[in-house]
Chain A
């Protein structure tokens, strides 16, 4: 079946550090890939998406590239801020209506 694996958290970085959160997937067919962010006590917000191989999604300084050859969709940001502290979820959608999520990675940025 379809599945998503994210790097284990929590991740703690200093402000202005470079961020990478790894995400790999297993899917039949050609899925769309998504990153969602969840701030404390809130629902999930769509951060970025990519719908085909080699697409790059970007938003708010975050980027992720759909790599079909490595079945990956790693999230990156060049310089993180305290306000980026949140839980990040990688997810895929493959043909059906359902979105399959990874387990989430908690990110804490220290000033």
Chain B
């Protein structure tokens, strides 16, 4: 069966410091991969998605970037964190096979980032 791992679970970082959040998926090949952010008390905002190695689509201009160095690895980064980067970051994958609009997203347990 497929599993998704996200780490760390919790992170406290000072303003101006770098960020690297990692997500890996097991049990599937060539998944679509996603990074979402959930600000406190608000809905989910899609940040990036990827349909293959090195292929990244950015949804919102911001202080963050994403990379996909391997088929089942997705990394969210920042060179200098801002206070507004605080939130709950969720990685997700979906099965690209078949009719893509029917495939649900499967989420990791998230990383709670606090920028101080």
Contact = CB atoms under 8 A, between A and B. Distances in A.
The finding on whether chains A and B are genuine partners in a shared complex, rather than unrelated, reads yes
Interface string B44-68: 1010010100000001000000000
B105 interface: yes
Nearest to B104: A46
A41 B111 CA distance: 9
Interface string A36-56: 100001111110010100000
A103 B42 contact: yes
Interface in A3-62: 31-32, 34, 36, 41-46, 49, 51
B101 A103 contact: no
Interface of B: 6, 32, 34, 42-44, 46, 49, 51, 59, 90, 92, 94, 96, 100-110, 112
B102 to A, nearest CB: 5
Which applies to chain A's interface (DSSP): helix, strand, loop or mixed?
loop
14 contacts: A31-B101, A42-B110, A43-B108, A43-B109, A43-B110, A44-B90, A44-B92, A49-B104, A93-B101, A97-B49, A99-B104, A101-B43, A101-B44, A104-B43
A73 interface: no
A89 interface: yes
A28 to B, nearest CB: 12
A72 B106 CA distance: 23
B102 A98 contact: no
Given A42-B110, A44-B90, A46-B106, A102 B43 contact: yes
Contacts of A86: none
A89 B44 contact: yes
A103 B43 contact: yes
Contacts of B112: 41
Contacts of B105: 44, 46, 99
B91 to A, nearest CB: 8
Contact of A97 (B90, B94, B110): B94
